[in-house]
Chains A and B, each alone.
Chain A
């Protein structure tokens, strides 16, 4: 499923990647019932919003801010821009597509999964990510993935959403 050869970060077309990801999610969910989409703030939330609209799942769309579940609270404290998590559907028995923009260490995914279980026991959680930049520190992999790239440790990849809803990706140097 994942692409092994590395694309140059500057050549990333976020709209094309989104199209690819949404195709994968659509075919992967065929025949599956009780599907719900949950986006991780903030990039993943934008992607999830658009996915849910395309899949006509807006009633079963949720958002997660993992700040209360992070493992670096002892070193970094609480982030000042925490947003409320919103899970309006019944998690019990649901198949949840967890959506994030960039998959890196896997720690955010771990935190999001823990939080979802505090709402109930899902039947299954699938992970969808736009870009996998490597550097995993936990045994976590995406089920749906549009692109894999390699970034230096001091670089990060940020998803932006323009006023017209179009996505773009930029590489930020620390």
Chain B
């Protein structure tokens, strides 16, 4: 089957997932992003690439950080950005997803940035646009259900490359609630495609999905063992909303076994970096001493995220 993200020339037309994306496309996005980083330091923090284009931020699920960084990225590309909080509008009046899309496309949208609690929603939209020959409209997935969060994955790859230069000699550990994490899935696909020889998943068995080994991931249930000798630690947010279920005894218990403390961080390589997609729960998955410490690169991740989203949007808009 044709990859619905790519046009007939094999160029990126929509960004839906990192899975199956050729290494050359990922590398091109990271290279382009590095050219966008310095724009944030200039007098005028804008380039005219997407002047006159309309970007619709369609957030069917709440998000502050991702929506804001997409909004900033759009504005720095000189696009007009329209934020729609769909959960509070037409969807609640019974309009179907694709009817909403057709209506917005009729308003001459050029790009949809989509966040949805249902895995696959951005695919459905991209397929619908392709099927109805609305080829000038592009879709960027800003997180769908448990499935994928490709721009977060790409900004994580950018951050790792920025600090570690080369992917092919790294050990990367992803820690925490991997079961519910679309970030973890996107990171694993990105790391594997870019040639990272060892990706580890650390967490209690109730929070690790099945099939990790088939994705080439080494599974650890013991935090101390899993952190030994790693170059990169990606902490995940413990999704508080899942805590009521039977998956975890309590946040305190989780911190005891899987919280990243200075003592545990010392087991990794001395120059290991600590990443987190945010929002952080201090004292649940990460100790404040680590979050604010010299090895944390959590705030640079946010800054790089804008450049990476600018790169993604300008590449898909041009194809």
- Whether B49 pairs with A119 at a CB distance below 8 angstroms is no
Known: A83-B35, A118-B42, A119-B43. A77 touches B48 (CB 8 A): no
Check if B319 is an interface residue, CB within 8 A of chain A: yes
Cβ of A92 to closest chain B Cβ, rounded Å = 8
Interface presence of A165 (CB below 8 A): no
Interface 9-mer from A26-34, A68-76, A126-134, A147-155: A68-76
Which of chain B's residues 18-58 have a Cβ closer than 8 Å to chain A? 28, 31-32, 34-39, 42-44, 46-49
> Do A119 and B42 touch across chains, with their CB atoms under 8 A apart?
yes
Task: Kindly report which residue of chain B lies nearest to residue A74, judged by CB atoms.
Answer: B318
A84 to B38, CA, bound (A): 7
A108 CB to nearest chain B CB (Å): 15
Q: Is the CB of B318 within 8 A of A65?
A: no
B315 within 8 A of A: yes
Chain B residues with CB under 8 Å of A120's CB are 43
Is A7 an interface residue when CB atoms closer than 8 A count as contact? no
A119→B44 CA distance, assembly (Å): 6
Q: A73-B318, A80-B28, A120-B43 are in contact. Are A68 and B38 (CB under 8 A)?
A: no
Contact between A78 and B32 (Cβ–Cβ < 8 Å)?
A: yes
Q: Is residue B11 within 8 Å, beta carbon to beta carbon, of the partner chain?
A: yes
- With a cutoff of 8 Å between Cβ atoms, the chain A residues found around residue B39 in the complex are 68
Whole-angstrom distance between the Cβ of A40 and the nearest chain B Cβ: 14
B192 at the interface (CB under 8 A from A): no
Q: B49 to A77, Cβ gap below 8 A?
A: no
**Does A86 sit within 8 A of B, measured CB to CB?**
yes
Instruction: Name the CB-closest residue of B to A118.
Output: B44
Nearest chain B CB to A112 CB, angstrom units: 13
Which chain A positions have C-beta within 8 A of B315? 77-78
Say yes or no for A114: interface residue by CB 8 A criterion.
yes
Verify if A16 is at the interface (C-beta below 8 Å from B): no
* Cβ of B26 to closest chain A Cβ, rounded Å: 12
Which among A69, A81, A85 is the interface contact of B48 at CB below 8 angstroms?
A69
Q: How many chain A residues have a CB neighbour from B under 8 Å? A: 23
A65 neighbours in B (Cβ, 8 Å): 35
Q: Is the Cβ of B46 less than 8 Å from the Cβ of A118?
A: yes
Q: What 0/1 pattern do residues 112 to 150 of A give for CB contact below 8 A with B?
A: 001101111000000000000000000000000000000
Q: Are A77 and B318 in contact (CB under 8 A)?
A: yes
The residue on B at minimum CB distance from A114 is B48
Q: Does A77 lie within 8 Å of B11, measured CB to CB? A: yes
Residue interface bits A76-117, CB-to-B below 8 A is 1, else 0: 111011111110000100000000000000000000001101
Instruction: Kindly state whether residue B281 has any CB partner on chain A within 8 Å.
Output: no
Are A82 and B38 also in contact (CB < 8 A) when A69-B47, A69-B48, A77-B319 are? no
CB pair A76–B318 under 8 Å, yes or no, is yes
Q: In the bound complex, do residue B38 and residue A86 qualify as a contact, i.e. CB atoms below 8 Å apart?
A: yes
* Residue ID in chain A nearest B52 by CB atoms: A74
Contact A78 B318 (CB under 8 A): yes
B193 is an interface residue with CB less than 8 A from chain A = no
The answer to whether B314 has its CB under 8 Å from any CB of chain A is yes
The answer to whether B319 touches A82 (Cβ under 8 A) is: no
Residue of A nearest to B47 (CB): A68
Assess the B31–A82 pair: CB atoms within 8 A.
yes
Determine how close the nearest CB of chain A comes to the CB of B74; give it in whole angstroms: 14
Footprint of A on B, CB under 8 Å?
A: 11, 28, 31-32, 34-39, 42-44, 46-49, 314-315, 317-319
Known: A78-B49, A115-B47. 10 other contacts (CB 8 A): A68-B47, A68-B314, A73-B318, A76-B318, A78-B315, A85-B35, A118-B43, A118-B44, A118-B47, A119-B44
